[in-house]
């Protein structure tokens, strides 16, 4: 922790929506290392604050305002999942993500928020975006169809923040993280993303003695994966050091195809059986890899964790979950 970081977070109240979730819990941990005391952090739980409901949003801000400290909001609560979950719930994903974000931002302008940090999604980019994705390309087409309802809802919040900065002076920033992975990820096969889904399949196959695993798609799609520790560090750095109008990519600047990723995970899990590709299932967006130069230039973020080490850590975490 440096003096500048500690000074920024001292005597502030910080709302972390989604703070009990995968990424959010790591952001809370990172804040603690930057001099933010735990009693300064508010993590609203859905059972008490369903942020889709306007009344819950108002209660949350009233609770924070009663503490009489400058307020920072990091909004990362989301209704989200992998390709299967997106295909099954397009209306739900659009509505809940839109309503949560719109209401959190609207209420922020009435409560003297010092900084509003909105987490976007790489799914907001057009289906066919030149690689590496540059932030200026975000409006140059429609998102990949299976992700579009989620991606469009999240992208609309960028416009809201830019509009509110222009009209109301709200200090809002918008970050675009790439695909995340790491400890505490969601390993539920009904809603998990590609890395936790593959880890579960491979570890479970090893434990059951299965001779094959089934994998969606052709394997031709590529993705960029950012370890959750790096993502949390980027969010806290941006909160401290960035106050601009333009969206900023948060990524590792490393692209890997799914056909390369699957055997990598299988080997690390100790699975030696057959990998059966189901090409009748969608691949999703053809390629994803972000230009991360803006994050490096604006607040000094460079990803540190390499993919192999991060996968080993995530596999060990899942095995610990299974043994509990």
* pLDDT, position 285: 82
Mean of pLDDT values over 137-142: 97
d(CA 159, CA 165): 10
Residue 74 falls inside a structural domain: yes
- The count of domains in the chain is 1
User: Is the pLDDT reported for residue 102 higher than 80?
Assistant: yes
Q: What is this structure's pTM?
A: 0.93
CA distances from 157 to 1, 95, 110 (A): 31, 13, 17
The DSSP 8-state label assigned to residue 290 in this structure reads B
The DSSP 8-state label assigned to residue 278 in this structure reads E
Higher local confidence (pLDDT), 213 or 285? 213
* pLDDT, position 3: 55
User: Is the pLDDT reported for residue 81 higher than 80?
Assistant: no
Q: Tens digit of pLDDT for each residue in 257-288?
A: 999 999 999 999 999 999 999 999 888 888 88
Residue 99 falls inside a structural domain: yes
**Using an 8 Å Cβ cutoff, are 103 and 51 in contact?**
yes
Contacts of 47 (CB under 8 A, 6+ apart): none
What does the DSSP assignment read for 123-165?
GGSBSS-PSSB-GGGTTSSPBPGGGHHHHHHHHHHHHHHHHHH
* pLDDT, position 24: 97
Q: Tens digit of pLDDT for each residue in 240-262?
A: 999 999 999 999 988 999 999 99
List, in sequence order, every beta strand (DSSP E) within the chain: 13-17, 41-42, 71-75, 113-119, 172-177, 179-181, 212-216, 222-227, 248-250, 255-257, 274-278
* pLDDT, position 85: 81
Higher local confidence (pLDDT), 166 or 281? 166
Residue 193 falls inside a structural domain: no
User: Is the pLDDT reported for residue 82 higher than 80?
Assistant: no
Residue 198 falls inside a structural domain: no
The DSSP 8-state label assigned to residue 111 in this structure reads T
Mean of pLDDT values over 212-219: 94
- CATH number for the domain that contains residue 248: 3.40.50.720
Residue 176 falls inside a structural domain: yes
Percent of the chain residues past pLDDT 70, beyond the cut = 98
Residues classed as catalytic: 150
d(CA 2, CA 17): 26
Task: Give the closest residue to 146 by CA, choosing from 184, 193, 185.
Answer: 193
Residue 205 falls inside a structural domain: no
Mean of pLDDT values over 100-128: 96
What range does the domain containing 170 cover? 3-185+224-253
Tell me the pLDDT of the chain averaged across its residues.
Answer: 94
CA distances from 207 to 103, 140, 197, 215, 272 (A): 46, 46, 15, 18, 12
Residue 160 falls inside a structural domain: yes
CA distances from 52 to 44, 60, 93, 116, 223 (A): 13, 12, 11, 18, 30
Task: Give the closest residue to 225 by CA, choosing from 154, 137, 290.
Answer: 290
Percent of the chain residues past pLDDT 90, beyond the cut = 86
What does the DSSP assignment read for 222-267?
EEEEEEHHHHHHHHHHHHHH---SS-EEE----EEEHHHHHHHHHH
Q: How big is the chain by its Cα radius of gyration, in Å? A: 20
Mean of pLDDT values over 61-82: 93
76: phi then psi, degrees, rounded to nearest 5: -130, 5
Q: Is the peptide bond before 130 cis (omega within 30 degrees of 0)?
A: no
CA distances from 155 to 94, 101, 199, 287, 291 (A): 11, 10, 30, 19, 18
Residue 293 falls inside a structural domain: no
């Amino acid at each position: 922790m440096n003096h500048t970081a500690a000074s920024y977070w001292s005597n502030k109240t910080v709302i972390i929506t989604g703070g009990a979730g995968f990424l959010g819990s790591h952001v809370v941990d990172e804040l603690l290392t930057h001099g933010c005391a735990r009693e300064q952090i508010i993590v609203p739980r859905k059972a008490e604050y369903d942020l889709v409901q306007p009344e819950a949003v108002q209660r949350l801000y009233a609770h924070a305002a009663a503490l009489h400290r400058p307020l920072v909001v990091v909004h990362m609560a989301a209704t989200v999942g992998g390709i299967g979950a997106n295909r099954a719930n397009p209306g739900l994903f659009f509505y809940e993500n839109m309503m949560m974000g719109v209401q959190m931002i609207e209420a922020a302008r009435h409560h003297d928020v010092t900084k509003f940090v909105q987490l976007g999604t790489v799914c907001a980019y057009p289906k066919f975006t030149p690689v590496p994705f540059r932030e200026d390309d975000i409006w140059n087409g429609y998102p990949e169809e299976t992700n579009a309802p989620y991606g469009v809802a999240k992208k609309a919040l960028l416009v809201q923040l830019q509009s509110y900065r222009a009209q109301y002076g709200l200090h809002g920033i918008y970050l675009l993280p790439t695909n995340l992975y790491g400890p505490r990820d969601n390993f539920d096969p009904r809603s998990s993303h590609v890395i936790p889904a593959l880890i579960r399949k491979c570890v479970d196959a090893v434990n059951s003695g299965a001779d094959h695993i089934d994998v969606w798609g052709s394997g031709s799609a590529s993705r960029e994966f950012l370890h959750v520790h790096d993502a949390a560090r980027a969010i806290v750095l941006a909160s401290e050091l960035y106050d601009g109008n333009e969206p900023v990519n948060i990524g590792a600047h490393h692209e890997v195809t799914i056909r390369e990723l699957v055997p990598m995970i299988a080997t690390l899990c100790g699975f030696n059986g057959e990998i059966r590709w189901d090409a009748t299932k969608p691949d999703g967006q053809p390629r994803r890899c972000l230009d991360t130069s803006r994050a490096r230039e604006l607040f000094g973020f460079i990803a540190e964790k390499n993919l192999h080490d991060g996968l080993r850590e995530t596999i060990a975490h899942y095995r610990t979950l299974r043994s509990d």
